[in-house]
Amino acid sequence: MFDVDIKNKTYKKGNVVALKDVKFKLPSIGLVYLIGESGSSKSTLLRCLAALDDSYEGNIIYNSKRLKDYFISDLHLFEFSLCLQDDELDNYLSVIDNVMIGLELYNYSYARKKKKALKVLEEVGLLGIKDKKVSLLSGGERKRVSLARALAKEYNVLFLDEPLGPLHFEMRKKMMDLFEKIAKTKLVIIIAHNVKEIGEDKNIIKLKDGRIVENNLVINDEKIGEKSNVNRKKYSCCVKNNQNFCK
């Protein structure tokens, strides 16, 4: 689904190189974590993938077409859904109204919008406070409202920027189970700080100083960059410690 080849991404202010020689492919469905310490350019990469930033050298191919050639509004209406660190909630509206407002651009009846909102609020554990104003919520609750709004939309790719940060352990486990359920039919891309935060045996792309230093993605039963006993096409490069193991 994604074929990423970002040769360079530089912020003009300060001439800071944010991404350099970032190359990988992503499957159509599954759960992928972008991990790395603060300042490793995880959010920058996510914004490029989500078509929020196209000021990079190189190409990102999505469904056999350059991301830069799409109408951004179409992507964000029917293909991509995002939950970023800034929740952008309306403090004067209730929980359910904040979710439903994200559906205003769809030609849905009020009943359908409400039904979708109730469904996702139940999934994130907020159905019991659906009528509460978001100004009265905790940080973790606000994050889940923002997540519910993203889940209510039509999408094939879900982008989540540190959705687990403000959540307590039990709720974090519940949300991770939800993400894994969604990833059975969608592509879910999540930013996290490290493996300890998400657990072992996850699909990860690890960044350091704007470069990929580890990529353990498995596509079509073949670990990327490694030889396989079956005759399958290799899809990308496995990079570890700045060494490229692909042929």
Other C-beta atoms lying within 10 Å of the C-beta of residue 187:
21
Instruction: Label the pairing between strands 187-192 and 16-26.
Output: unpaired
pLDDT at 204: 92
Centroid of chain to Cα 21:
20
DSSP 18-68: EEEEEEEEE-SSEEEEEE--TTSSHHHHHHHHTTS---SEEEEEETTEEGG
Distance CA 175, CA 155 (A): 18
Look at residue 220 in the predicted model and tell me its pLDDT. 58
Distances (CA, A) of 127 to 81, 148, 176, 200: 21, 11, 18, 31
> What is the DSSP track for 178-202?
HHHHHTTTSEEEEEES-HHHH-SS-
**Dihedrals φ, ψ of 26, to 5°?**
-125, 145
Residue 23: phi, psi to the nearest 5? -140, 125
For residue 34, what are the β-bridge partners?
Answer: 191, 205
Give the per-residue pLDDT at 217: 86
Nearest to 52 by CA among 30, 24, 15, 80: 80
Block residue for tokens 């406070």: 129
The per-residue pLDDT string of the chain (247 residues; one tens digit each, 9 = 90 and over) reads 899 999 999 988 768 899 999 999 999 999 999 999 999 999 999 999 999 999 999 999 999 999 999 999 999 999 999 999 888 899 999 999 999 999 999 999 999 999 999 999 999 999 999 999 999 999 999 999 999 999 999 999 999 999 987 788 889 899 999 999 999 999 999 998 877 777 777 899 999 999 999 999 866 544 433 332 322 233 233 333 433 333 3
Give the model's pLDDT for residue 246.
Answer: 34
pLDDT, residue 232, reads 28
- By DSSP bridging, strand 243-244 and strand 157-161 are unpaired
Cβ distance 26 to 1 under 8 Å?
yes
The pLDDT score that the predictor gives to residue 175 is 93
